[in-house]
Structure 1
């Protein structure tokens, strides 16, 4: 299984393609790397070496010491992004002709590999919507600040990448309106099937949109009979969390064991994992036209995959209860496989993820979904993952290790009504899975 090249994702010709192209002429980011000491509005803390915003806004790059006695790597240290504020990811929904449409925006981010992407109606950190950057106000924010209860479809805080963010959460919101909404340049009403179709086209739908879409209620009639009850799943996850034993403590970025700082980056001594870099951004169609910031730049393309099987005709996906250093409650439910394979060249053999080789060796007729998608481009530079859904025969021995369980999409959706159960990568895969199902929730492949 080879990794596809990084290219700008195609948008089909026609009205949507023309709108996307026209938006790209006004909305863009041009990013170039700069030395860490050239950051403006940021400074290196004299005592700790942490990268800190001058006004205490946005985020801090600090060090984290991690102990995991039960894991294959019992101890390590790493940089991590600490952004304690809660942002808003909001999707506005309105019916046209009896069909629900979502108000998407064409949004560029400095870390996007392919440039412009489809984003939620509102995608803003607290620093953004309180205008800590001194820029323009965030459009459509009023719909999400005090929505009417009858129009509130979803409102839940969800985690972000626990390997890179320290306890980061965003408020995922879906609000239905019946108002006539002024459609500003760069925004467009789109049907859910249209958005779902773009998922398979490549890097078009951004991470935040995929996360919010996962919080939509599941299709009617999609429940089916599950291999494990919801109570059994919660009992299992609580047990994993109780045994995880993961311990973290913030430490100075300066002198972090196994890492070193050069003029242009903070890097691991092995050359693996990721770098912390600095960039200058010039933008059009954004609240601010120029800024500088630190970013996390991963090495390699990740693999994020669900194994899928049918139990009595009902599709089930194999979830992994995995502990990450930045998670609020230690372990959350993530994809069957969620890793960057190259990183395991410098880790103990026992650290290699279960089922990774099975995913990599999957024949084409078993691969139900396969697309290269990027992670959040506001903090991560060219963070690309290959998202896959791979069919296997029967539940088999996959649960033997105790860290994996078969669940239905409906069960995952039920947990998404609550915080800190399902990772952002699993939320993306749930949205991708829904793109393969019909209106009644039936898997069409």
Structure 2
């Protein structure tokens, strides 16, 4: 007897409406989630202390290169990077950069509870967090962590992401991180649905999307890794399109549906990105840290001279809730709070976002799509640089209906110390097209969602704002 042919499978056509239901579910319950986060914060012992470099354990400066490395050669290293480019106000420089070639896992489990999809999120402390506990993915782990290089406890729920057959994969893509601070760093962003929810550890909680979106608008609650995974999740708003209300939610829902159209076709968008990637020249080379110009090492920091950009520091950490109870490590410490803003406008009743094809030295490709405005004010002031394009539009937007989103959000706390940006989404009249530069284009959310299915198109700051934009519905 011949074997039975394999069963053919199609996409789950119910998923958009299930996700939409979760996104609209019990946003008021976010207050209960905040109480739980506060409770977990109080329950965790988490102490982070600045230390001089000579108090680092298992970390040392290489005598030959000056690179700061872990004894095992794993985790990450702080090295030098030489940059030459034909783009931007500064065309050549060198800097320290974090080199972490291994690919980590950022994964969120989902399950239906009483007919509503919930995310399993973790109350997690990171040494660089400004406020202790933040809402993290189910799994947030480097390869060194989950393979046990630190000789610590196992990572809970890792099996669902290393063996996705344990659940149903909803999204799975490699995405970049900060191209100014990481050298070609990528993580595997995953969402996996399980058939039945289970009783979770006290540091984990099942939360519907509506509450997660509500919490994204609270300063420093939802961490960067959760935001980037949420951005890669299918939207669900396809099931809400066409209400005819004419309001923001309707414009956003229409923007999520490819059939609504946009100012540019998908082929034109891909052609523009390819043109920007091939049109900008950027050459980078890893160099010894002690060869980096205009940076100097003191007993407790590596800093730019004069003090612009960021510093590299060392910390000692004690944490009762982590796989390892205490450790020391380097962290990158930005100077000041950054600004990240996305301008949106309605064209023909369809919401569009003004994206910037941005060059950063640590990208795997030359260019990724960034928000309209993304910059560090202290760096610009220190170097005497002109304001970035469209900052005047951002600055002129006062509080009210035009500012759709405004919150201070933290960046990754495992590598950065108190790294924060003020994130904004600002609606403008659809008359800015005459001001756009060759590096700017208006894209629909459906076009951004399509790009998010692939590697290295949309940068981490833009992914954060896409996650927040979805919450506006």
Further displaced range: 184-193 or 18-27: 18-27
Question: Deviation per CA, 1:285-330, whole angstroms, max 9, x where unpaired?
Answer: 1100100000000001000110110000111010000111000011
Q: Measure the CA separation in 1 of the matches of 2:29 and 2:118.
A: 19
TM-score, scaled to structure 1? 0.93
Shift of residue 182, structure 1, vs aligned partner = 3.1
Shift of residue 270, structure 1, vs aligned partner = 1.4
Q: Residues 105 and 187 of structure 2 are in contact (CA less than 8 Å); yes or no, is this contact kept in structure 1?
A: yes
Q: Residues 170 and 190 of structure 2 are in contact (CA less than 8 Å); yes or no, is this contact kept in structure 1?
A: yes
TM-score, scaled to structure 2? 0.87
Shift of residue 398, structure 1, vs aligned partner = 5.3
Shift of residue 181, structure 1, vs aligned partner = 2.1
1:330-341 alignment, distance < 5 Å: 330-341=366-377
Q: Measure the CA separation in 2 of the matches of 1:143 and 1:349.
A: 47
Q: Secondary structure at the match of 2:397?
A: coil
Shift of residue 14, structure 1, vs aligned partner = 5.9
Shift of residue 347, structure 1, vs aligned partner = 2.9
Which residue does the alignment assign to 1:375? 411
User: Structure 1's 414 and 97: CA in aligned 2 closer, same or farther, altered over 3 A?
Assistant: same
Higher helix share: 2
Which residue does the alignment assign to 1:281? 317
Larger radius of gyration: 2
Q: Residues 160 and 167 of structure 2 are in contact (CA less than 8 Å); yes or no, is this contact kept in structure 1?
A: no
Q: Measure the CA separation in 1 of the matches of 2:34 and 2:88.
A: 47
Find 1:67's aligned residue among 76, 84, 90.
Answer: 84
Find 1:244's aligned residue among 256, 280, 285.
Answer: 280
Residues 1:83 and 2:91 aligned together: no
Q: Secondary structure at the match of 1:397?
A: helix
Q: Secondary structure at the match of 2:290?
A: coil
User: Structure 1's 28 and 389: CA in aligned 2 closer, same or farther, altered over 3 A?
Assistant: farther
Shift of residue 13, structure 1, vs aligned partner = 8.9
Question: Deviation per CA, 1:210-255, whole angstroms, max 9, x where unpaired?
Answer: 0000011122143132111111111001001101100100111114
Which residue does the alignment assign to 2:391? 356
Q: Measure the CA separation in 2 of the matches of 1:176 and 1:370.
A: 31
Q: Residues 72 and 348 of structure 1 are in contact (CA less than 8 Å); yes or no, is this contact kept in structure 2?
A: no
Q: Measure the CA separation in 1 of the matches of 2:273 and 2:30.
A: 46
Find 2:195's aligned residue among 175, 178, 184.
Answer: 178
Which residue does the alignment assign to 2:10? none
Q: Measure the CA separation in 2 of the matches of 1:13 and 1:407.
A: 31
Shift of residue 258, structure 1, vs aligned partner = 1.0
Shift of residue 395, structure 1, vs aligned partner = 4.1
Which residue does the alignment assign to 2:157? 140
Q: Residues 167 and 192 of structure 2 are in contact (CA less than 8 Å); yes or no, is this contact kept in structure 1?
A: no
Find 2:426's aligned residue among 382, 385, 390.
Answer: 390
Question: Deviation per CA, 1:389-428, whole angstroms, max 9, x where unpaired?
Answer: 0111114235542000001111111111100000010000
Q: Measure the CA separation in 2 of the matches of 1:202 and 1:361.
A: 22
Q: Residues 398 and 404 of structure 1 are in contact (CA less than 8 Å); yes or no, is this contact kept in structure 2?
A: no
Shift of residue 348, structure 1, vs aligned partner = 5.3
Which residue does the alignment assign to 2:295? 259
Count of aligned pairs: 426
Q: Measure the CA separation in 1 of the matches of 2:84 and 2:360.
A: 11
Q: Residues 311 and 395 of structure 1 are in contact (CA less than 8 Å); yes or no, is this contact kept in structure 2?
A: no
Q: Residues 240 and 321 of structure 1 are in contact (CA less than 8 Å); yes or no, is this contact kept in structure 2?
A: yes
Q: Measure the CA separation in 2 of the matches of 1:386 and 1:79.
A: 24
Which residue does the alignment assign to 2:25? none
Find 1:304's aligned residue among 336, 340, 343.
Answer: 340
Find 1:25's aligned residue among 42, 46, 56.
Answer: 42
Shift of residue 21, structure 1, vs aligned partner = 2.8
Q: Secondary structure at the match of 1:165?
A: coil
Q: Residues 68 and 244 of structure 1 are in contact (CA less than 8 Å); yes or no, is this contact kept in structure 2?
A: yes
Which residue does the alignment assign to 1:4? none
Further displaced range: 25-34 or 134-143: 25-34
Shift of residue 376, structure 1, vs aligned partner = 0.2
Find 2:383's aligned residue among 342, 347, 351.
Answer: 347
Further displaced range: 221-230 or 271-280: 221-230
Q: Secondary structure at the match of 1:232?
A: helix
Q: Secondary structure at the match of 2:323?
A: coil
Q: Measure the CA separation in 1 of the matches of 2:30 and 2:447.
A: 37
Shift of residue 346, structure 1, vs aligned partner = 3.2
Which residue does the alignment assign to 1:329? 365
Which residue does the alignment assign to 1:6? none
Which residue does the alignment assign to 2:73? 56
Which residue does the alignment assign to 2:11? none
User: Structure 1's 14 and 230: CA in aligned 2 closer, same or farther, altered over 3 A?
Assistant: closer
User: Structure 1's 214 and 14: CA in aligned 2 closer, same or farther, altered over 3 A?
Assistant: closer
Q: Measure the CA separation in 1 of the matches of 2:45 and 2:106.
A: 20
Q: Residues 395 and 406 of structure 1 are in contact (CA less than 8 Å); yes or no, is this contact kept in structure 2?
A: no
Residues 1:228 and 2:235 aligned together: no
Q: Measure the CA separation in 2 of the matches of 1:23 and 1:149.
A: 28
Question: What is the CA RMSD across the aligned residues, in angstroms?
Answer: 1.6
Which residue does the alignment assign to 1:8? none
Q: Residues 113 and 197 of structure 2 are in contact (CA less than 8 Å); yes or no, is this contact kept in structure 1?
A: no
